[in-house]
Amino acid sequence: MVGASNATRPERSPQVVDVVRARRGAEEAWRGASRGPARLPDSVYSVVLPIYNEEENIGELYRRLTPVMESLGEPYEVIFVDDGSADASAERVRALHLSDARIKLVRLGRNFGHQAAISAGMDVACGRAVVVMDADLQDPPEVLPAFIAKWREGYEVVYAVREKRKETALKRAAYHTFYRLLKRLADIDIPLDSGDFCVMDRRVVDLLGAMPERNRFVRGIRAWVGFRQIGVPCERGCRQAGEPKYTLGKLMRLATDGLVSFSYVPLRLASIMGFVISAVAFALALWTVYEKIVHPDYIAGFTTIVVAMSLLGGIQLITLGIIGEYIGRIFDEVKGRPLYTVREALGFDEHV
């Protein structure tokens, strides 16, 4: 019987075989990441700096960051990730590399976004502790020793908690609302007012790198992996020079990624709205029947019909939009495209 069942078993199509192989490869990568890095790191610390048109800030950032890292007394590397800059940012980093081999550069093929640039930097970082911070000096390098001290106490993730923001009132209100809404709706505990500025242990970085999702919300998946985490209060400064790269539209997209990636509440709200509207419609139908029986001359108003149809149409469009956000992200994941492409890597070993 066993031989008969094997003889009649249908063969898998090439597409199914590819999917199985990809899944097995992802599982092996995940297991390998959970066991730790396959090679010993050359640096104790890696500083990942995503940049996009930051030529005016690179020199001052290097001047302030270098004494802070040297004061730690251990080897380090600084990785600038050029996210498709149109200015001379890459040239500024190359000039720094000529005088300081600890400065390294990764140039992405185009502008893939801030979260993808952070991921690219973490993928090539080899330090036992990886620092992620913005290059516009809103994240002050001078607080890094306090972060490192917490990491040495055994915390795998040390993140900044922004006590004050030197932003416009509109942005401050938007950030305040978003973080509290996300904390209430998310399925995991994402700390309030915590951005991407952090220090992560090698094990956490490897786990994040092994996660295959494309629509990344780094501070969210950082909280998802768990381990010992602690926040360090700090004041977020003003941008040193240049224009902010996170426009209101980009912030809205990032907020949508955070909500959709870590909460099913929007879908549940769509279902709840459907039940509520159905209940209201049923109640109105009963009321109309009652009016017809009690007042035979009752004529339903045209305005009521128009309002009811508009309300139902609006609810349907909102529901379709919510479902579309989730389906769109499923589509991105199924395509399996790489998170980014690399145009140039400067200062790395051959394995990178």
Q: What is the pLDDT of residue 20?
A: 38
Q: What is the pLDDT of residue 17?
A: 38
Q: What is the pLDDT of residue 103?
A: 92
Q: For all residues of the chain together, what is the average pLDDT? A: 75
26-245+339-346 is classed CATH 3.90.550.10 = yes
CB count, 10 Å around CB of 180? 12
Q: pLDDT band at residue 171, thresholds of 50, 70 and 90?
A: low
- How many residues make up the chain in this entry? 352
Rounded CA gap, 297 and 277, in Å? 28
How far from 328 is each of 69, 159, 214, 284, CA to CA, in Å?
A: 42, 30, 12, 36
Q: What is the pLDDT of residue 162?
A: 77
Mean pLDDT of 36-46: 61
Rounded CA gap, 68 and 94, in Å? 21
Nearest to 60 by CA among 125, 132, 137, 4: 137
Domain ranges of the chain: 26-245+339-346, 265-335
Least confident segment among 38-47, 132-141, 230-239: 38-47
Nearest to 211 by CA among 2, 33, 24, 7: 33
Burial of 305 (0-12, 13-18, 19+ CB in 10 A): exposed
Helix H, strand E, coil C: the string for 130-153 is EEECCCCCCCCHHHHHHHHHHHHC
Instruction: Give the up-direction half-sphere exposure of residue 146: CA atoms within 13 A in the CB hemisphere.
Output: 13
Q: For residue range 322-334, list pLDDT tens digits in order.
A: 787 788 777 777 8
How far from 7 is each of 3, 16, 298, CA to CA, in Å?
A: 6, 19, 74
Q: pLDDT band at residue 352, thresholds of 50, 70 and 90?
A: low
Q: What is the pLDDT of residue 303?
A: 58
Rounded CA gap, 189 and 65, in Å? 31
pLDDT at 216 over 90: no
Higher pLDDT, 22 or 323: 323
Asked whether the beta carbons of 190 and 220 are under 8 A apart, the reply is yes
Asked whether the beta carbons of 109 and 342 are under 8 A apart, the reply is yes
Higher pLDDT, 30 or 180: 180
